[in-house]
Structure 1
Amino acid sequence: MGDDSDDSRNEDDLSELLRRMLGGQGGIDPAEIERLTGMPVDPSMLAMISQQLRGAFAGGGDGISWDLAKRQALQIAESGALSVTDGQRVDLDEALALATLWLGEATTISDLAHSARVLTRAQWVEASLPVWQELAEPVAESIADALTATLEEQAPEEMRAMMQGAGRLMRTVGGSLFATQLGQVVGRLSTEVISGGDVGIPVMPAGEAAILPQNFADFGRDLDIGEDQLALAVAVRELAHARLFRHAKWLRLHVISQVTEFARGIRVDTEALEDLAGRFDPQRPEELRQALESGALLPAHSEAQRQALGRLETLLATVEGWVDVVTEDATARLPKAGAIAETVRRRRAAGGPAEQALGSLVGLELRPRRLREAAAMWRAVTNAVGIEARDSLWDYPDFMPTAEDIDDPDALITRLQARARGEQVSADELDDAIARILAGEEPAPDDGEGEGTSPSDDATGEEEPPRPA
């Protein structure tokens, strides 16, 4: 009987303690928690837990509070950040103005409605965080749900009655842990990116371009390339990326939906989570943070995920390949254009520390593996049919090149040439045409009308205008 009364008294005392913590009341003695739980408590850890619990209840609902991610990201972005000088702003504005003129010669896709912005790191965080949240939310939900279920299962028998009804709170706190890690990664990413489109996905609002002068200065510090040339190359690449997403209004949603489709397939490795929960030490929260950021809780990709990842990589490679080709043509006047392009390629292939951390946290690598092949396809298309026909492939989703087109650009070129002549090509005719191209044979005359034309004339479409179908 005495044991029952002691248990009841302990539960009442713990309930009172929780009310005081959630109410923000002071005077909470760590020794009191040690007496009730039988576990040693670090005072700084207690303060952090109290803050998270109060934030969870204050937010209402059972969703994840992304305000915590935003605060973490801004804190990192603003720490040690140099101010943007008027000289830097003027130099970049001049580079963006000249880049706009050069792009007019390299693409038929129209200019932006608004001028590109020069952003601080904190402003980049504010502008891009909604997209990071959208991409990471499926993973955060999965981790929060799994953490809640695992902790409930791992709880001692005598505490399970107290855990009933606390699922919403625990789920929110678990999600907040993930949000904190995401905020730290995005904050560190803000110290690496040099422009709005630098990470390959459209993190800026549609049709907006931006350059971060603080990071641009770091990018060119160890390169034997003039800052004016670097500024022009970066400006051209950023404007080309933003122009493409403004022109192809469907493309932004297409990319983000592909990413979220991949993320929704992520499931937490419950065995790894149970192992972590079984040996978790409240005085060493670093282990949980490292597990989240290292990706240890995310299992190997499933077959469905590998297929989704393949589609996403093809899409990102198609976008970045077009940007590469347009940038190469627009910056041909620069004496060190080739060296700059190679620097960008190497930087993109390696990725920065923050980008690698993001890949571990969300399970997604943003750098497409087939970028060189996609760029080669766009170069072949440009040489064969010109920039207008090339850029028309972004007019509708159905026109966009596929993975098969990256593998075999000749098939795409054949279709474009037939479309320019107003012809409808059957599958058999297309296969025959591809076979002739691969065999190195001359194209057959077009019913006697094209006997005097050369393959190059036919490829450019300059000898005669397209005939109506």
Structure 2
Amino acid sequence: MPMTDKERGLGDAIDWSFAAGVGVRLTRSEPAMSRYTRDTVRDELFAAAARAEGPVREHTRLGDGSEPPPALVVDRPGWVRAAAASMADLTASPTSGPGGGRPWVGKPAGAQAGAMLAYLSSAVLGQYDPFSRTLLLVAPNVVAVERALRVPTSDFRLWVCLHEVTHRVQFAQAPWMADLMREAAAELATAVDEPVGEMAARLVSAVRDLRDPDGKPMSQRGVLGVVRALQSGPQRESFDRILALGTLLEGHADHVMDGVGPAVVPSVARIRRAFDSRRQRSTGPIHRLIRLVLGMDAKMAQYVHGKKFVDAVVARAGMDAFNTVWSRPEALPTLAEIDEPDAWIARVLN
């Protein structure tokens, strides 16, 4: 019996193998490096990832002492292939598996997804894939950023690894988060039987909120409002759940970077100043539009809001109490609690 729209996932709508091929062809050229530099970067990133594990575990008080697998150092095409495989795993429907059953639908969407991956491939420094349990470090992007910031290379590479290793430790402590992400993705991909008029009314209201009373664009806040307006109640709940989880994970990683950094990265203050300045630097209108559509500005906000939440809870309750957050899905903060850490403390710790 053929699947209904409600049973299909994004994996049935997007051909991720095709997306990987498109993304690889569209990746931007990488910074010029001699073979010696390329080999040195690879070796230093391997070593930095291994070196970061101990300080991260000690600071977070997470981990069982087991030896993690070595990091995988990749170029931009390598990241595109790995990211496409991860997305295929995340979005696969339980009945059809990755690569679903409608290739004539999946290839156009795959081409769009491939273009998105190609753009992101020059921006990502590292990534932990909770589905393959692989820590990826994108060597040419690390080199490009450290050259732009003019910071000590060995320090910067270790600093980047502190962030990505923290993500590996998070998922090792709470492997159920990967399943939660799959469930949320499945809900977001579910078709909804809803009168068009009701959806249109929500959309009009959300678009109206794109501008504040003075008529100035409200950028990411308004875009998120439009996204939520097009979703059903269950989809909005899943969207908020995954947004809150991402905010927690990124904020916790930034908290760990700042907590561990001074002890192991001599130039950490210089790196943090330069990197934060780079995050806030304005770009051309086309790049700003692309960043907005891909949610990259929202991700930047996740670092800020999430770190404030973690900083506040750790300061008030201690690291051991904060680590309750990794114990079960119900202990995760809601979007509202991210901005109200006392509410999370009252609900989960008291």
The answer, yes or no, to whether TM exceeds 0.5 is yes
Structure 1 residue 368: Cα displacement: 6.5
Deviation at 1:251, TM superposition (A): 0.8
Structure 1 residues 273-308: Cα deviation after superposition (integer angstroms, max 9, x where no partner): xxxxxxxxxxxxxxxxxxxxxx9xx98842535554
**What RMSD in Å do the two structures reach over aligned CA positions?**
3.9
Q: Does 1:253 align with 2:206?
A: no
Partners of 1:127 and 1:205 within 8 A in 2: no
Work out the CA distance in 1 between the residues paired with 2:236 and 2:106: 26
Residue 388 of structure 1: how far off its partner (Å): 2.2
Is the aligned partner of 1:223 residue 2:149?
Answer: yes
CA distance in 1, matches of 2:188, 2:168: 24
Cα distance, 1:377–1:240 mapped onto 2, change above 3 Å = same
Report the counterpart of residue 214 of structure 1 in structure 2: 140
Greater length-normalized contact order (CA 8 Å, ≥ 6 residues apart)? 2
TM-score by length of 1: 0.53
Kept after mapping to 1: 8 A contact 2:16/2:110: yes
1:397 maps to 2:329: yes
| Aligned residue in 2 for 1:234 | 160
Aligned residues of 1:206 and 1:242 also touching (Cα < 8 A): no
**Does 2:244 correspond to 1:314?**
yes
The CA deviation at 1:129 is: 0.7
Query: Using a 3 Å threshold, how does the CA distance of structure 1 residues 299 and 330 change in structure 2: closer, same or farther?
Result: closer
Alpha-carbon distance in 2 for matches of 1:133, 1:417 = 37
Q: Could you tell me which of 111, 114, 119 is aligned with 2:74?
A: 119
1:184 aligns with 2:115: yes
Q: Look at both structures and tell me which one has the larger radius of gyration over its CA atoms.
A: 1
Are the aligned partners of 1:64 and 1:175 in contact in 2 as well (CA < 8 Å)? yes
CA distance in 2, matches of 1:191, 1:256: 26
Distance apart, 1:260 and its partner CA? 4.1
CA distance, structure 2, for counterparts of residue 230 and residue 242 of structure 1: 19
Q: Tell me the SS of whatever aligns to 2:49.
A: helix
Task: State how many pairs are aligned.
Answer: 292
Aligned-partner residue type, residue 72 of structure 2: R
TM alignment of 1:37-76, pairs within 5 A: 65-76=15-26
Who is 2:98 aligned against?
none
1:20-52 CA distance string (max 9 Å, x none): xxxxxxxxxxxxxxxxxxxxxxxxxxxxxxxxx
Compare 77-86 and 381-390 and name the one that shifted more: 77-86
Change (3 A) 1:303 1:129: closer
2:43 aligned residue (70, 82, 90): 90
Can you list the C-alpha shifts for 1:198-240, whole angstroms capped at 9, x where unaligned? xxxxx46343212111111011112132112211110100100
Specify the alignment match of 1:421 in structure 2: none
Aligned residue type for 1:399: A
Query: For the structure 1 residues 105 and 321, does the alpha-carbon distance in structure 2 shift closer, same or farther, using more than 3 Å as the test?
Result: same
* One-letter identity of the residue aligned with 2:325: L
1:131 to 57, 64, 86: 86
Contact 2:130/2:178 (8 A) holds in 1: no
Which residue of structure 1 lines up, in the alignment, with residue 316 of structure 2? 384
| Cα separation, partners in 2 of 1:246 and 1:414, compared to 1, 3 Å | same
Secondary structure in structure 1 of the residue aligned to 2:177: helix
Give, as a single letter, the amino acid of the residue that structure 2 aligns with 1:97: A
Q: Paired residue for 1:453? A: none
Change (3 A) 1:135 1:92: closer
CA contact (8 A) 1:385 1:416 kept: no
Q: Distance in 2 between matches of 1:263 and 1:185?
A: 18
